[in-house]
Structure 1
Amino acid sequence: MINEIPIWEKELLTVTEASQLFNIGQNRLRLLASEDQGDLVLRVGVKILFKRDRLKEYLTTEYSI
């Protein structure tokens, strides 16, 4: 059995994981990723990975997204 790291302990989150953790729709997260200048997202090929701590900081400072 593979030991998976809990979502809240991961440093990088997929769109699906970020959606589950922060209760934000996947389409909205993809839109944020497309507008990002490298602060929130790490791209590995076509895969989008959100930097958990920076995304959390961003969400706490924004009024609406």
Structure 2
Amino acid sequence: MREINVPICEKAALTIEEAAEYSNIGQNRLSELLKQPRCTFVLYVGKKKLVKRREFDQFISQSIQI
């Protein structure tokens, strides 16, 4: 089966590694943010945590400090 590479800016959900590359925020800090109870951009797929890109963009644009 052929692997399809979709650009990060077109994905709806990102892995922590992709979100770190996309935002220039460290993976450890992103993991901490995703653990917060009111995190609006976390998406659980089984035990795996993904980052909802649009909600993450909104979070970043509204934040002064992370």
Tell me the TM-score normalized by structure 1. Answer: 0.90
Q: RMSD value over aligned CA atoms?
A: 1.2
Q: Distance in 2 between matches of 1:42 and 1:3?
A: 22
Structure-2 residue corresponding to 1:31: 32
Q: Does the aligned pair in 1 maintain the 2:33–2:39 contact within 8 Å?
A: no
Closer, same or farther: CA 28–38 of 1 in aligned 2, 3 Å: closer
Count residues in correspondence: 65
Output one character per residue of 1:1-41: Cα deviation in whole Å (capped at 9) or x when no partner.
Answer: 42211111100000000000010000000000000435210
Mind listing any 5+ residue stretches in structure 2 that lack a counterpart? Answer: none
Asked if structure 1 preserves the Cα contact closer than 8 Å seen for 2:16 and 2:51, the reply is yes
Percent identity, aligned pairs only?
Answer: 38
TM-score scaled by structure 2? 0.89
In structure 1, the partner of 2:64 is 63
1:43 is paired with a residue of what secondary structure?
strand
Q: In structure 2, what is the Cα distance between the partners aligned to 1:2 and 1:8?
A: 18
**Which SS does the other structure have where 1:18 is aligned?**
helix
